[in-house]
Structure 1
Amino acid sequence: MLKNITTTRWISVRHYAKDVRFGMEARSLLLRGVNIMANAVATTLGPRGRNVLIEQLLISPRITKDGATVANNVQLKDRRWNLGAQMLRQATNNTNNDVGDGTTTATILARGMACQGIQATRAGQVNVQLLREGILEGSQVVCETLSEMSESVETIGQVEAVAKVALNGNERQAELIGDTFLELGEGGAILLKESHSTKDEVKIQEGVSLPSGYCSPIFAMAADGDTLELGNCLLLLTLAKVDQISQILPALEMAKNRQQPLLIIAPHFASDVLKALVLNLLQGRVQVCAVKAPGFGDEQRDQMRDLAVAMGASLLEDASWLAKVTDEDLGEVVSVIVDAKNTHILKPINANEEEVENRIGHIRELIDEARTDQEVNQLQKRLGRMQGHLATIYVGGSSELEVTERKDRFKDALRAVRVAISDGVVPGGGCAYLRCIPALENLPEAQVPEHQMGREIVRDALRLPAYTIALNAGADPDEVVRTVLAESGNFGFDAATGEFCDLVARGIVDPTNVLRAAVSVAAGIASLLATTEVLITQQPVEAKIPKNQVTRDLAKLIGM
């Protein structure tokens, strides 16, 4: 008798601890996040750009037109979409870190290149690495063309023109920045603070600026931000490496006895020393901050001697001098302002004016004897530091929201002006990018099809800034782009008035380095998005809402 035989079939099922997506599906999910991010940021571009209102937990909302601020506040619930948004955020942050402006432009360009790059991969038979090379090659051609187009900034009127664009056409604020740079020169230090009135004003203070900030961000924790202010401060200047806390204990004791904050400037601080200083600060014993001395070698010694003379302090050459420090060795100033990158020392109390003038005269003699441009530039920086000033722009407004939004615009304008002074300007309003299109079209046909495809992706993306500016201004963007492309030179669209004109003559310009950085960063991020093949994210986890009514209400408040 035959028995029924049951055949068991084993089906292989792949289970992942994380969510894993491949190929076109992965790129499409990333693109969803890219589009959401770019749409949010693009609304702020141009003089007719719109505001973005951002919720802030437990405090007042923030309103802004700053692209980097908007990008940093976009968080998407879907992890896969959010990864695309995060990659695009890198474009804004990298551009902001490099040149301090152009974040919105970089986002728009990156989205345009990424969309076309991903679309090209849909057709198949495309070598994505060669496509990436083509995109990067095209962006390099654009950067070179922008450099050839650039004009130097030589007048305060040009400075005000750059500032006016960043300030969305506000002439009064642009004139304020122009007057400040006229007073300080391009190397002057400028701070932004909130005003107690509705008007903007600037105050100039004498002082010395150093291109180095605090050694640890914890020193600024008590300042409720990223800037530390020390009033009636003592200065300890040394060329010795501070490897042990015992080396600076005498100075700390003096500061404690005199109940004054202490700024220590030295070439090096050991990690244990910084930990001890931070612990000392947090425990409220002495308000102290450590700053690394600027420069290296002989240059550092010269700069520290300049600082000692300017501040009426003694420069302690080695550790043995530190052990014998006296009250007379410490400098004393009215105020010290320290952030992550700079230190501003204001109004020395005990400086010897005759010694300061002699030091300035000595530096001028060295300038006359210098043989290379590098030597002259370095000596000019030292001279400017000895004669330095600090400007504080007090930003006014009728409400906290307005003041915050205006401060964001002032920050962008100051960064744009500094970049423009160093690298020159090109026509604004997206016109400069449109003038780069013929440079790409006139290149010899690429031997590799993917390289040619990459160039065309960059070429098409160059239309987007001008298109977006016109769209935000309520004009027909297609007609604007066609009209500008049909002309040449500085002819472009003034979105503030809705007129076509000579943009440079009207003062509508962009810093050259800002546009170069924007297209370079955008090409890098977009090519990475287009060549992504696998997307790995955490599996979504449902938040467990507690049963207690109080904790339930708190969870609801934070969006759980």
Structure 2
Amino acid sequence: MAGQPRYVLGSGGRRSSRGRDAQSINILAGKAVAKAVRTTLGPKGMDKMLVDSLGDIVITNDGATILREMDIEHPAAKMVVEVSKTQDDEVGDGTTTAAVLTGELLAKAEELLEKGVHPTIIASGYRHAAKKCAEILDTITIDVSKDDRETLKKLARTALTGKGAGEYKEFLADIVLDAVLSVAEETDDGIKVDVGDITIEKKEGGSILDTEMIPGLVIDKERVRPNMPKKIQNAKILLASFGIEFHKIEKDAEIKITSPDQMQLFVEQEERMVKEMVDRIIASGANVVFSQKAIDDLAQYYLEKAGIYACRRIKKSDLQKLAKATGATLFQDVTDIRPGDLGSAEMVEERDIGGAKMTVLTGCREEKTVSLVLHGGTTHIVDALKRALNDALCVVGVALEDKKIVAGGGSPEIELALRLREYAATLKGREQLAVSKFAEAFEIIPQTLAENAGLDAIDMLIELRSQHEQGNKNAGLNVYTGKVVNMYDMDVLEPLRIKTQAINSATEATVMILRIDDVVAASGKGGAMPPGMPQPDMDM
């Protein structure tokens, strides 16, 4: 076999890059994603307009929304997008911070790679640094309780600042706080907040100041017939994923009708089938019906005659909320209906909310639930308001669960950078270099805040370092005045979890990208490299 060529990869496998080239390309992709959202960071960050192939637009400065809507193909870049998505799922805010920090960690790692430091050493140093960050953050946290309404309101205001609805943050912060406290539950493990129990409905028209919180569950549907009862007390609720209508034969079939009598019989049979469906509903004791599909005219007539409140074409997500709140079972077929599986609520009624008719359920059996009805001049304003409120709701909920908060304005990042440099000096070997670079990476956050506010980033960083070296742990950047001030005194507060989650996710994603030294397309995917990747190298 001497001298014979050996082929490791089959015809379906393609290697695009290896070793240092693979690392450089992946790092470049990660940095590009971070750069795309960096200008949106902070109260003075800019917005992005995202336009899809259909011409629909989204205007936002929310990092997770931007990265989710962008058409990103590079595998390493997608890993940075996942960091932002995880941050959004776990905390609800700080998505831009997480992406920017990941990009900067990759940039600092690249500097070490160019000096000949092995990726494994960098990865180990980064992990040590991330673990040390948790210890440092514990020294600057502030406790918060459910009864400390003023501090919780400051958290909500901070989360709303810089969003499209920032000028209404005083008004909206009260709504956010009331909504979260309404659904917060005391458990043996502490307070639990399920933001999913807060329903958000959007209505174009009016002002943001018309936004209101309604105790109970709001469904954006009206009665199918105006003569149905407008209000039902002691509601027995039936949830149907099927349509209350005559079900046409699914298979191809031909019915020959040769006389008017046969036609009449056919129509009567259709009516009989619909009436049997309604009779089963009535027999169950239900006086409120929500159907995911259609309710035909004849069924509406029989339901109206029986004094039943009915709504049709309910979204599946709304049906799931109804099931959770009322304790109802979602029936798949009319034959499955059982009286014991109906849900209940003290009241179901149709209300006029902002000029639109909606169904409101109050006194639900299983869950404490509230609804926010958002108003704004245009669709884009209402969409931006929903994203801002969702961030604020999550932030207050997380703070209630963890009972730990920190000052904002870049102050935790500067404190972490300072303390990590001190920690790095105690280490031996090349891991010291990695921890030092990890510390430097944190300064990208206050630096970006300064740049986005049109301030001199170098001057601001020098002043911030000086303040923290003097022991002012809460010193941060006031982007409105360009001064370094105590951010706690300025009421700029964030949940501790925003920082810990961003650091952990960014570290893990960075380490994973650094440890990749070969990019190979799997044969199961036809051997084609993703767009943006270099041409395959066939020399095996």
* Pairwise CA distance, 1:106: 0.7
SS at structure 2 position matched to 1:149 = coil
Aligned 8 A contact 1:250 1:325 in 2: no
Question: Structure 1 vs Structure 2: percent identity of aligned residues?
Answer: 19
Q: Does 1:346 align with 2:346?
A: no
Equivalences for residues 179-198 of structure 1 within 5 A = 179-182=175-178, 185=181, 187=183, 189-195=197-203, 196-198=205-207
Structure 1, unmatched stretches of 5+, are: 1-8, 210-219, 221-230, 238-248, 264-282, 295-306, 316-321, 337-343, 352-381, 543-560
- Which of 178, 201, 208 is residue 210 of structure 2 equivalent to? 201
> Paired residue for 1:526?
510
Instruction: Evaluate the alpha carbon distance shift between residue 85 and residue 327 of structure 1 in structure 2; reply closer, same or farther with a 3 A threshold.
Output: closer
- Which of 134, 155, 173 is residue 162 of structure 1 equivalent to? 155
Choose 431-440 or 161-170, whichever is displaced more: 161-170
SS at structure 2 position matched to 1:191 = strand
Which of the pair is proportionally richer in helix? 1
Residues 482-521 of structure 1: CA distance to partner in whole angstroms, max 9, x if unpaired? 1011002222211133232221111112211111110111
Task: Give the partner amino acid of 1:167.
Answer: L
Give the Cα separation in 2 of the matches to 1:465 and 1:286: 41
Residues 72-98 of structure 1: CA distance to partner in whole angstroms, max 9, x if unpaired? 12324xx5xx12210111110111111
> Paired residue for 2:395?
416
Give the Cα separation in 2 of the matches to 1:520 and 1:529: 14
Equivalences for residues 4-15 of structure 1 within 5 A = none
Q: Does 1:331 align with 2:344?
A: yes
Aligned 8 A contact 1:190 1:393 in 2: no
> Paired residue for 1:84?
76
Give the Cα separation in 2 of the matches to 1:186 and 1:314: 22
SS at structure 1 position matched to 2:476 = strand
> Paired residue for 1:153?
144
| Runs of 4+ in structure 1 over 6 Å off | 9-16, 249-252, 255-259, 283-288, 290-294
Give the Cα separation in 2 of the matches to 1:422 and 1:172: 26
Choose 163-172 or 64-73, whichever is displaced more: 163-172
Q: Does 1:132 align with 2:112?
A: no
> Paired residue for 2:102?
110
> Paired residue for 1:491?
475
Give the Cα separation in 2 of the matches to 1:253 and 1:290: 22
Give the Cα separation in 2 of the matches to 1:541 and 1:390: 45
Q: TM-score, normalised by structure 2?
A: 0.66
Q: Does 1:175 align with 2:167?
A: no
> Paired residue for 1:407?
386
Instruction: Evaluate the alpha carbon distance shift between residue 455 and residue 255 of structure 1 in structure 2; reply closer, same or farther with a 3 A threshold.
Output: farther
Task: Give the partner amino acid of 1:405.
Answer: A
Give the Cα separation in 2 of the matches to 1:291 and 1:414: 18
Give the Cα separation in 2 of the matches to 1:395 and 1:152: 34
Give the Cα separation in 2 of the matches to 1:335 and 1:140: 53
> Paired residue for 2:528?
539
* Pairwise CA distance, 1:30: 1.4
* Pairwise CA distance, 1:285: 13
Aligned 8 A contact 2:112 2:434 in 1: no
Instruction: Evaluate the alpha carbon distance shift between residue 17 and residue 434 of structure 1 in structure 2; reply closer, same or farther with a 3 A threshold.
Output: same
Give the Cα separation in 2 of the matches to 1:444 and 1:252: 76
Aligned 8 A contact 1:161 1:174 in 2: no
* Pairwise CA distance, 1:22: 0.2
Aligned 8 A contact 1:142 1:436 in 2: yes
SS at structure 2 position matched to 1:442 = helix
Residues 184-210 of structure 1: CA distance to partner in whole angstroms, max 9, x if unpaired? 62635433332321323343433489x
Give the Cα separation in 1 of the matches to 2:464 and 2:77: 32
> Paired residue for 2:89?
97
Give the Cα separation in 1 of the matches to 2:54 and 2:509: 34
Residues 145-195 of structure 1: CA distance to partner in whole angstroms, max 9, x if unpaired? 212211123533322322222222525334322244247626354333323
Residues 275-304 of structure 1: CA distance to partner in whole angstroms, max 9, x if unpaired? xxxxxxxx999999568998xxxxxxxxxx
- Which of 38, 44, 53 is residue 42 of structure 1 equivalent to? 38
Structure 2, unmatched stretches of 5+, are: 185-196, 221-230, 240-275, 293-311, 330-334, 351-358, 522-526, 532-540
SS at structure 1 position matched to 2:100 = helix
Residues 207-229 of structure 1: CA distance to partner in whole angstroms, max 9, x if unpaired? 489xxxxxxxxxx9xxxxxxxxx
Q: Does 1:51 align with 2:40?
A: no
* Pairwise CA distance, 1:465: 0.6
Choose 114-123 or 84-93, whichever is displaced more: 114-123
* Pairwise CA distance, 1:325: 4.2
SS at structure 2 position matched to 1:449 = coil
Give the Cα separation in 2 of the matches to 1:203 and 1:144: 41
Instruction: Evaluate the alpha carbon distance shift between residue 251 and residue 436 of structure 1 in structure 2; reply closer, same or farther with a 3 A threshold.
Output: farther
> Paired residue for 1:261?
290
Aligned 8 A contact 2:214 2:371 in 1: yes
Aligned 8 A contact 1:45 1:468 in 2: yes
Aligned 8 A contact 1:426 1:512 in 2: yes
Equivalences for residues 375-390 of structure 1 within 5 A = 385=367, 388-390=368-370
Give the Cα separation in 1 of the matches to 2:277 and 2:504: 51
Q: Does 1:144 align with 2:128?
A: no
Give the Cα separation in 2 of the matches to 1:499 and 1:285: 52
Task: Give the partner amino acid of 1:534.
Answer: D
Give the Cα separation in 2 of the matches to 1:251 and 1:456: 72
* Pairwise CA distance, 1:32: 2.5
Give the Cα separation in 2 of the matches to 1:391 and 1:184: 11
Residues 228-259 of structure 1: CA distance to partner in whole angstroms, max 9, x if unpaired? xxx9885479xxxxxxxxxxx99994279978
Q: Does 1:75 align with 2:64?
A: no
Aligned 8 A contact 1:151 1:425 in 2: yes
